[in-house]
Structure 1
Amino acid sequence: MAVLTYVSSSLLKYVLVVVLCLCGSGDARFKGFRRFMDRSETTQRAAKAGPEVQDHWFTQRLDHFNGVDTRVWKQRYFINDSFYRPGGPVFLMIGGEGPANPAWMQYGTWLTYAEKLGGLCFLLEHRFYGKSHPTEDLSTSNLRFLSSRQALADLAHFRTVVAEGRGLSSSRWVAFGGSYPGSLAAWFRLKYPHLVHAAIATSAPIHATVNFPEYLEVVWRSLASYSPECPLLVKQASDTLSQMLKNPLTYSNITKDFQLCSPLQLDSFMDSAHFLEALAGNFMDVVQYNEDNRAFEGVVGTNITISVLCGVMADESLGGVYERYAAVARLLLRTFSQRCLDARYSAYLQDMTNTSWSGPGAAGGRQWVYQTCTEFGFYQSTDSPNQPFTGFPLPYHLQQCSDVYNVSVDVAAAVQDTNEQYGGYGLRAARVAFPNGSIDPWSALGVTQDLDQQLPAIFIKGTAHCANMYPARAEDLPQLALARDHVYLLLQQWLKE
């Protein structure tokens, strides 16, 4: 395992502070993977200017596993052939749980590799996300065609047809992805080794699990790496607020302090859990992407880091820990230009049960939660004493499966099936690299130690989710630069095998 820990004294302070990511989402109330990025078309148009990237369309089967079903649909993809040299490799970036961002066809570490190696680059948008609409709506009956297995079959069919059409059948294909697409990259290599030669699976959670309280445990450690007092202050604030929610006489003050869109009203356990999770999400999101370089995608809020949040929590001039917790919430609202926080579970359900492609959940929320219910779990619950939040245990997350999709789902059986399909931590393949950042809560479900010589881990101290995928910059930690170099050396080696 490559554990990159070099730290110069001048950079020590940066180590001590801790949806394409093909890491992403666009819904402010998005569940599952944290808000990787704003995936909306508006935000993508605001991304760093560059040559316009043209949409291309590929004909896919709706159901790859039913020979009787002949229905097809159009899947969006992008191309960058500016670095291609005949005989060079083909890089296939895998889209995730949001619109594929064309900014990745202009910026990103994978393009640096393509330039050095003469690679041809494709980005394939994931079915049911972005503009890739296989069905007329997002009804539960249609979402049965949304799964990682169907997505892998999409990749296989795309690779086969494009290779035949462009004379690339003998080329070495390499899959790239970050987060869930990173898992897909590893699984693509696992399931279709005759089609893809190698894979770079960044920040990939390869083990499915129903309950994932370890996510919040990493959040605790990441906050503590900036200041040992920080997670303690956050825990005190969360506990204080949880106690206040038991007294309706406090609701008017809470409404004002947290800048809620409507007077706080808690009619059920789901209402309080949703509110508490929304506030915890302010810290969870920042930790996951602490000090990253997503600005090229048009992402807002990259200036809000762990040091900023811990600074607010330590500021006694703001009042007690409750007042500081509220100050963090207001800071995030201002950062994202939101007038107020709509923390109503009923409003969340209204958005998530809208099955239209123009509905608010269609940005990725309705689709991804469906995948968590039917494949992955990944529920970031408070069911651990070693984390800073309270109030949203596993039953809260499981209840959403039936509330949103109006069906009974055996999530535990679905998760077991996923691990049986792909192997979980016992994945056995070759030529798959697993970069992960120590700050990233998702590293708890990833590969942080070599599985074997052909399945190396690249564990990057002090970095967050998908950090090695973003464009390099002068202020990057030296171990992050080394990690990018390590991936390049692996690609050089593997493309010769």
Structure 2
Amino acid sequence: MHPLRLLVLVLVLVLGLFPAAAWSLARPRFPVPHPRTLPGLGANGVGDYEYDTRYFRQRLDHFSFPGVGDEDEAAAFFQQRYLVGRGGGWAGPGGPIFFYCGNEGDIAWFAANSGLVWEAAPRFAALVHRYYGESMPFGSKAKAYNDSKSMAYLTAEQALADFAVLLTDLKKNLSAESSPVVLFGGSYGGMLAAWMRLKYPHIAVGALASSAPILQFEDIVPSTIFYDLVSDDFRRESLSCFLTIKDSWKVLYDQGNEQDGLLKLSKTFHLCETLKTSDDLSNWLNSAYSYLAMVDYPIPSDFLMPLPANPIKEVCRNMDSQPEDTSTLERIYAGVNVYYNYTGTVGCFDLNDDPHGMGGWDWQACTEMVMPMSYSEDRSMYPPYKFDYASYAEDCIKSYGVRPRPHWITTEFGGHNITTVLEKFGSNIIFFNGLLDPWSGGGVLKNISESVIAIVAPLGAHHIDLRPATPEDPDWLVSLRESELKIICGWLSDYYGARGALFQPVAVKGSSAS
């Protein structure tokens, strides 16, 4: 086989989100990196990864045809930022191109967390998803996010078209029209990678969709599955920890209803400002539990927050090891402090400061990305809650003046018949899921065909396969990455046929391949 040596890599940063906590409304969200500055992260590179920043003139609306003279040139196009990795080794015209559909957030941050692609090939490029980072239509974030009219172009369909247009143009500029493209993505980016392979099969020869919950819509999977899996992660680590969290919600709301109760809660949790509602605190806690379940990696990480290896184990250890007379809420604080303040440098917590840069996801969740979320009564560590579309829609109308379309994504890309769609019309897609990741409940967990393959890691967390390799990586993770690269090399071998010498073997860090 031919592992991936002489490549151009294109990383597209797209919105990644994560399930929010709310008893009345639960908009799903994927994890996005903390937008802070790290040593070695700069305008021209991060760590060992170096790149140049460029801009592409992108059309705002790919699906309309204004009359000649009717189009406002300034509003019809915007400058979309992308990065091109430095370093030799690309085979040139005809050499493979890797196109990464990643998560939103700082583009350099996501580049730093896409080690599999960097380590599989020496050259790299990146496109920022529209409406995020510096890729703002209408010239500024204030104008782009002004109202429903200006935000109407923030959709998955427009993003996929952005990818297709950029790739077509990039290949022309590189004189690489015959180069095969391989798509990569994690979370929402993984969903886009799979959907793009289906929608634009002539653009890419295959896709690795990591932790991509393409089944999380309508009632394809139970609406309780995400939070059931979050709860399972904590119960698996410590039953007493699970029960402490389960009991804490009533205690929290009871105290919040007391005179000066919100002030007491604010002091217990070391908040910078006094709470206005108990919901604000419960949402903050739920976000921590959900993110912890997603990034429960076996090695230390600094993706969302600086965290130790197996962070849920550390959270539960902190809760369970408190003195016997410690109150329930004090135990909860001791636990979530691991997530929000593992470095011990935070003096107080600002609940109004979203460290994960939500950006425009709430808009997308209120339009096409409607993922029903509920809390079960028996399996969950949360108070029972059943998803209610009417209240969900009411909140979206109040927030944005738009009504959600809960059936649009399944109409556009396939719903209950997605298995048939993938089997009959799809090929060359890898779906990776780690079973510790609560999003795995909406993922593809079984092979669909000989070329639409599911790789499942019982001990894996959210797109752990895409993260940079480390000497501490367990053997199962090293082997998993080797399997993914072997499959991708097979796609390229099939494409090149006798011309397979265009790319040469290279070992990914931690791999035994040569």
TM-score tier, shorter chain, comes to 0.7 to 0.9
Verify the 8 A CA contact 2:301 2:309 in the aligned structure 1: no
Structure 2 counterpart of 1:63, one-letter code: D
Structure 1 range deviating more: 157-166 or 304-313? 304-313
Matched, 1:129 2:137: no
Structure 2 counterpart of 1:233, one-letter code: T
TM-score, reference length from structure 2: 0.78
Structure 1: how far apart are the matches of 2:115 and 2:469? 8
Matched, 1:371 2:371: no
Structure 2 counterpart of 1:290, one-letter code: D
Matched, 1:461 2:469: no
For 1:115-126, list aligned pairs within 5 A.
121-126=124-129
SS at match of 2:252: helix
2:255 is aligned to 244
For 1:235-384, list aligned pairs within 5 A.
235-266=246-277, 272-291=278-297, 295=301, 300-302=306-308, 305-317=311-323, 319-335=326-342, 337-343=345-351, 364-378=357-371, 380-382=373-375, 384=377
1:389 is aligned to 382
Query: Could you say if the C-alpha distance between residues 441 and 154 of structure 1 is closer, same or farther in structure 2, counting changes exceeding 3 Å?
Result: same
Root-mean-square deviation over aligned CA pairs: 3.2
Structure 2 counterpart of 1:38, one-letter code: H
* Residue 88 of structure 1: how far off its partner (Å): 2.6
Matched, 1:417 2:379: no
Verify the 8 A CA contact 1:383 1:394 in the aligned structure 2: no
Residue identity over aligned pairs, in percent, reads: 26
Verify the 8 A CA contact 2:184 2:193 in the aligned structure 1: yes
Structure 2: how far apart are the matches of 1:342 and 1:258? 11
Structure 2: how far apart are the matches of 1:433 and 1:143? 32
1:440 is aligned to 437
* Residue 378 of structure 1: how far off its partner (Å): 2.9
For 1:144-159, list aligned pairs within 5 A.
144-159=152-167
1:74 is aligned to 79
1:14 is aligned to none
The correspondence for 1:97, drawn from 90, 95, 104, is 104
Q: Please give the per-residue CA displacement for 1:406-440, whole angstroms capped at 9, x wherever unaligned.
A: x141x3xx231111111144342110101111110
Structure 2: gaps spanning 5 or more residues:
1-11, 495-514
SS at match of 2:182: strand
Structure 2 counterpart of 1:164, one-letter code: K
Query: Could you say if the C-alpha distance between residues 262 and 252 of structure 1 is closer, same or farther in structure 2, counting changes exceeding 3 Å?
Result: same
Matched, 1:39 2:35: yes
Verify the 8 A CA contact 1:220 1:387 in the aligned structure 2: yes
Verify the 8 A CA contact 1:242 1:390 in the aligned structure 2: no
Structure 2: how far apart are the matches of 1:146 and 1:188? 16
Structure 2 counterpart of 1:101, one-letter code: A
Q: Please give the per-residue CA displacement for 1:99-121, whole angstroms capped at 9, x wherever unaligned.
A: 32266279601123225xxxx53
Verify the 8 A CA contact 1:99 1:131 in the aligned structure 2: no
SS at match of 2:124: strand
Verify the 8 A CA contact 1:175 1:200 in the aligned structure 2: yes
For 1:466-481, list aligned pairs within 5 A.
466-481=463-478
Query: Could you say if the C-alpha distance between residues 36 and 329 of structure 1 is closer, same or farther in structure 2, counting changes exceeding 3 Å?
Result: same
The structure in which a higher percent of residues are helix is: 1
Kindly tell me the number of residue pairs found equivalent between the two proteins.
449
1:11 is aligned to none
Matched, 1:191 2:199: yes
Structure 2: how far apart are the matches of 1:297 and 1:254? 29
Structure 1 counterpart of 2:410, one-letter code: N
Structure 2 counterpart of 1:291, one-letter code: Y
Query: Could you say if the C-alpha distance between residues 104 and 263 of structure 1 is closer, same or farther in structure 2, counting changes exceeding 3 Å?
Result: closer
Q: Please give the per-residue CA displacement for 1:21-61, whole angstroms capped at 9, x wherever unaligned.
A: 878579x9996324432135679837953465321111110
* Residue 389 of structure 1: how far off its partner (Å): 2.0
2:188 is aligned to 180
Structure 1 range deviating more: 441-450 or 363-372? 363-372
Structure 1 counterpart of 2:64, one-letter code: N
1:16 is aligned to none
Structure 2 counterpart of 1:192, one-letter code: Y
Verify the 8 A CA contact 1:202 1:434 in the aligned structure 2: yes
Query: Could you say if the C-alpha distance between residues 446 and 159 of structure 1 is closer, same or farther in structure 2, counting changes exceeding 3 Å?
Result: same
* Residue 89 of structure 1: how far off its partner (Å): 0.9
Structure 1 range deviating more: 239-248 or 363-372? 239-248
Structure 2: how far apart are the matches of 1:205 and 1:181? 10
SS at match of 2:244: helix
Q: Please give the per-residue CA displacement for 1:352-404, whole angstroms capped at 9, x wherever unaligned.
A: xxxxxxxx89x842411111111112354435542112387646765542343
SS at match of 1:317: coil
* Residue 289 of structure 1: how far off its partner (Å): 0.5
Structure 2: how far apart are the matches of 1:111 and 1:294? 20
* Residue 82 of structure 1: how far off its partner (Å): 3.0
Matched, 1:401 2:396: yes
Verify the 8 A CA contact 2:83 2:125 in the aligned structure 1: yes
Structure 1: how far apart are the matches of 2:334 and 2:287? 14
* Residue 179 of structure 1: how far off its partner (Å): 0.5
Matched, 1:493 2:464: no
Structure 2 counterpart of 1:74, one-letter code: Q
Matched, 1:202 2:202: no
Q: Please give the per-residue CA displacement for 1:213-242, whole angstroms capped at 9, x wherever unaligned.
A: 321111111112222333222212233223
Structure 1: how far apart are the matches of 2:303 and 2:264? 37
* Residue 204 of structure 1: how far off its partner (Å): 0.7
Structure 2: how far apart are the matches of 1:155 and 1:312? 45
SS at match of 1:415: coil
